[in-house]
Chain A
Amino acid sequence: MWDYVLDRRGQIAFQAFQHVSLVVQCVLLGSLIALALAVLVYRSPRLTGLANGVSAIGLTIPAFALLGILLAPFGFGITPAVIAVTFYAALPVLRNAVVGLAGVDRSLIESARGMGMSRLSTLARIEIPLAWPVILAGVRVSTQMVMGIAAIAAYVLGPGLGGFIFTGLSRLGGANALNSALTGTIAIVVLALVLDLLLLLLGRLTTPRGIRV
Chain B
Amino acid sequence: MSDTLSSADAHSTDPAPQSSEGRRVSGVSIRLDGVTKRYPGQDRPAVDAVSLEIPAGETVMFVGPSGCGKTTLLKMLNRLIEPSSGTIHLGDEDVTKQDPDQLRRRIGYVIQAGGLFPHMTVGTNVGMVPRMLGWDKERVTARIDELLDLVGLDPEVYRDRYPKELSGGQQQRVGVARALAADPPVLLMDEPFGAVDPITRQRLQDELLRIQEELGKTIVFVTHDFDEAVKLGDRIVVFDVGARVVQYDTPEAILAEPAEEYVADFIGAGATLKQLTLTRVNSLELKPVTSASVGDDAAEALARARAAGDEYIVVLDRRGRPISWPTTAEVSRMQQIPATVDEKLPVVGLGSTLNDALDTMLAASQGGAVVIGRRDSLAGVVSIETIMDAIQRTRSEVAG
Closest to A113 in B: B80
Known: A116-B104, A116-B132. 10 other contacts (CB 8 A): A110-B115, A111-B111, A112-B117, A115-B109, A115-B132, A115-B178, A116-B102, A129-B119, A130-B118, A210-B120
Q: Does B382 contact A (CB under 8 A)?
A: no
In A104-148, which residues have CB < 8 Å from any B CB?
107-108, 110-118, 126, 129-130
Q: Does A103 contact B (CB under 8 A)?
A: no
Report how far A130 CA is from B128 CA in the complex, Å: 17
Are A107 and B80 in contact (CB-based, < 8 A)? no
Are A110 and B121 in contact (CB-based, < 8 A)? no
Q: Does A46 contact B (CB under 8 A)?
A: no
B104 interface neighbour in A108, A113, A211, Cβ under 8 Å = A113
Are B119 and A130 in contact (CB-based, < 8 A)? yes
Are B103 and A116 in contact (CB-based, < 8 A)? yes
Are A114 and B111 in contact (CB-based, < 8 A)? yes
Q: Does A209 contact B (CB under 8 A)?
A: yes
Report how far A108 CA is from B175 CA in the complex, Å: 12
Q: Does A208 contact B (CB under 8 A)?
A: yes
Given A107-B111, A107-B113, A210-B163 in contact, is the A114-B119 Cβ separation under 8 Å?
A: no
Would you give the shortest CB distance from A177 to chain B, in whole angstroms?
Answer: 53
A126 interface neighbour in B102, B105, B117, Cβ under 8 Å = B117
What chain B residues lie within 8 Å of A114 (beta carbons)? 78, 80, 104, 109, 111, 115, 188
Report how far A59 CA is from B164 CA in the complex, Å: 38
Are A110 and B105 in contact (CB-based, < 8 A)? no
Q: How many of chain B's residues have a CB under 8 angstroms from any CB in A?
A: 29
Are B109 and A210 in contact (CB-based, < 8 A)? no
Which size bracket describes the interface of A in this complex?
10 to 19
What chain B residues lie within 8 Å of A129 (beta carbons)? 119
B105 interface neighbour in A108, A116, A210, Cβ under 8 Å = A116
Q: Does B129 contact A (CB under 8 A)?
A: yes
What chain A residues lie within 8 Å of B100 (beta carbons)? 116
Given A115-B104, A116-B102 in contact, is the A210-B78 Cβ separation under 8 Å?
A: no
Are B119 and A111 in contact (CB-based, < 8 A)? no
Q: Does B162 contact A (CB under 8 A)?
A: yes
Of B104, B105, B116, B178, which is in contact with the most chain A CB atoms at under 10 Å from its CB?
Answer: B104
Q: Does B4 contact A (CB under 8 A)?
A: no
Report how far A113 CA is from B113 CA in the complex, Å: 16
Report how far A117 CA is from B111 CA in the complex, Å: 16
A-facing mask of B155-173, CB < 8 A → 1, else 0? 0000000111000000000
What chain B residues lie within 8 Å of A111 (beta carbons)? 109, 111, 115-117
A117 interface neighbour in B101, B164, B179, Cβ under 8 Å = B101
Report how far A118 CA is from B103 CA in the complex, Å: 12
What chain B residues lie within 8 Å of A117 (beta carbons)? 101, 128, 132
Would you give the shortest CB distance from A160 to chain B, in whole angstroms?
Answer: 37
Report how far A112 CA is from B106 CA in the complex, Å: 14
Q: Does B377 contact A (CB under 8 A)?
A: no
Report how far A195 CA is from B332 CA in the complex, Å: 68
Q: Does B51 contact A (CB under 8 A)?
A: no
What chain B residues lie within 8 Å of A115 (beta carbons)? 104-105, 109, 128-129, 132, 178-179
What chain A residues lie within 8 Å of B247 (beta carbons)? none
Can you report 30 residue pairs joining A to B where beta carbons are below 8 Å apart? Answer: A108-B115, A110-B80, A111-B111, A111-B115, A111-B116, A113-B80, A113-B104, A114-B80, A114-B111, A114-B115, A114-B188, A115-B104, A115-B105, A115-B128, A115-B129, A115-B132, A115-B179, A116-B101, A116-B105, A116-B106, A116-B132, A117-B101, A130-B118, A130-B119, A208-B119, A208-B120, A209-B162, A210-B118, A210-B120, A210-B162
